[in-house]
Amino acid sequence: MTWRTKDRWLGKDPKVLPKIIKEHFDGSKFREYQTFWNLEGEWETPVICPNSKCSHFFRAFPPAQKCE
């Protein structure tokens, strides 16, 4: 249902909300993370530390080492 109604949230500014919020994707928090839900978009998956005592996650490519 979320992707079928993408016209209600995809590409919308999180600060501009509809007058009536009917579903979770009508809210600002969902719009803030809309790139995650965009099936046509791309994002980098995090790398999780294999040490059971660590449980931290990291970006695979730190911003300082990225190229354009």
Residue 18 is predicted with a pLDDT of: 82
The pTM (predicted TM-score) of the whole model is: 0.49
Residue 66 pLDDT greater than 60, yes or no: no
- Please report, for residues 2, 4, 7, 17, 50, the alpha-carbon distance to residue 13 in angstroms, rounded to integers and kept in the order given: 17, 19, 12, 8, 37
Closest by CA position to 19, among listed 27, 11, 10? 27
Is residue 67 over pLDDT 60?
A: no
pLDDT score recorded for residue 60: 64
Q: How does pLDDT run across 3-57, given as a tens digit for each residue?
A: 888 888 888 888 888 888 888 878 888 888 888 777 777 777 777 777 778 777 7
User: If you search the block for the tokens 């791309």, which residue do you land on?
Assistant: 42
Query: Which tokens is 22 given?
Result: 């009917």
Q: Give the rounded distance of the alpha carbon of 46 from its chain centre.
A: 13
